[in-house]
Amino acid sequence: MKTNVMVIGLGLIGGSIALAIKKEYPDAILYGYDRNTESSLLAKSLKVIDEVVFKLEDVIHTCDYIFISVPVKQTVDMINELSSFELKKNVIVTDVGSTKQQIVQRAESIFGKLGVTFIGGHPMAGSHKSGVVAAKEHLFENAFYIFTPHNQNPSSEHGVQQLKTLLKGTKANFVIMTPEEHDRVAGVISHFPHIVAASLVHQALKYDQVNELVRPLAAGGFRDITRIASSNPSMWRDILLHNQDVLLDLFEKWIDEMEQIRNFVASGNGEDIYNYFMDAKNFRDGLPTRTKGAIPSFYDLYVDIPDYPGIVSEITGLLAVERISITNIRIIETREEIYGVLRISFQSDEDRRKAKLCIESKTNYETFFG
């Protein structure tokens, strides 16, 4: 008997899940549904899915697995909608949202009465590109894929094992956590950093109104360290509202943290300031470099380049010959008769390392990782 899989939401994550499943189980039937019909048709033309679904009720009752791959607010709406349909016995429903407590609680309150197994899910991988055209079967390779089953559902353990088997092709690192644990960790390493980044930008925006040099000077390092402030505002509004309690607690802890370093500065305590930065450096330098985390990594290579016509095409030409793909390229600074810096972004650390070797072996330009 063939396995029928429904993917609701055909963006980067939903599309990548479909591709990973199809790679491992070519006989599985991948159905795709998206409120944007063009996305559904595009997914079919790209062979991300096998069949386009225009009305969920037409095929949902035949599906063995249902992946809800939409933003967190829409996930709750979709759970409510699915409860009105006849679902297959022993179907497993899961989601990909970056908050879990509200979603799992809502799903259990609805599906628990119907005998449907819901397993919260969060593949902690992403890309700086969006949409089904950016979907890749290897997107989740070496990433953490977190499952947050409801601890009072007796079928949860079996459901998690089935999902692990189905998602084998992702080559992800599967982790089981409670919804509460997940939201606390995600708040610390993903949700709150986005708030901090947005706050830093707001601070610069306010000072920009009184000093016209803020904007041009912020084009370098400041722009880089606040990249995540460019994330989708609607998505982050919903995430913050869904993880409200955790974030309110983190606000209090962050205020305490700022008060501590403020006191160090106010008292002129050089030793405490040094230790503060040293402790941060030691922890940061000890973080894993070859695993994917909650925030997509930036695989940037910086190249010192001279200022003359054709320099950018020279570099990109070298990479093209070696068939090394780039995702973005930007000249950070270049002035007449001095070296500037070319920042090139890649899809993976492997591509970045290949590019570094390629450029250094064929030119005399210095390169360094960002």
pLDDT for position 338 = 47
For 64, list phi and psi in degrees, rounded to 5: -85, -30
pLDDT for position 336 = 44
End-to-end CA, the chain: 50
Are the C-beta atoms of 72 and 97 separated by less than 8 Å? yes
Surface-to-core class of residue 45, CB atoms within 10 Å of its CB (0-12 exposed, 13-18 middle, 19+ buried): exposed
The structural domains of the chain, ordered by start, are: 4-177 (3.40.50.720), 182-285 (1.10.3660.10), 299-369 (3.30.2130.10)
**Cβ neighbours for 122, distance < 8 A, ≥ 6 positions apart:** 96, 97, 98, 100, 145, 146, 148, 182, 186
Q: How many CA within 13 A on the CB side of residue 119?
A: 27
Amino acid at 236: W
What H or E segment, with its residue span, contains residue 246?
Answer: helix 244-267
pLDDT by residue (tens digit) across 262-296? 999 999 999 999 999 999 999 988 887 655 555 55
Pair of tokens at residue 97: 């949202």
C-alpha span between 126 and 73 (Å, rounded): 19
Surface-to-core class of residue 234, CB atoms within 10 Å of its CB (0-12 exposed, 13-18 middle, 19+ buried): exposed
- One pLDDT digit (tens) per residue for the chain, 370 residues: 589 999 999 999 999 999 999 999 999 999 999 999 999 999 999 999 999 999 999 999 999 999 999 999 999 999 999 999 999 989 999 999 999 999 999 999 999 888 899 999 999 887 666 789 888 998 898 889 999 998 767 778 899 999 999 999 999 999 999 999 999 999 999 999 999 999 999 999 998 888 888 888 887 678 878 888 888 899 999 999 999 999 999 999 999 999 999 999 999 999 999 999 999 999 988 887 655 555 556 678 888 887 677 888 888 888 999 888 887 787 765 444 445 678 888 877 788 889 999 988 888 888 877 6
C-alpha span between 146 and 134 (Å, rounded): 22
Q: What's this model's pTM, rounded to 2 decimal places?
A: 0.78
Question: In terms of residues, how long is the chain?
Answer: 370
pLDDT for position 258 = 96
Other C-beta atoms within 10 Å of 117: how many? 25
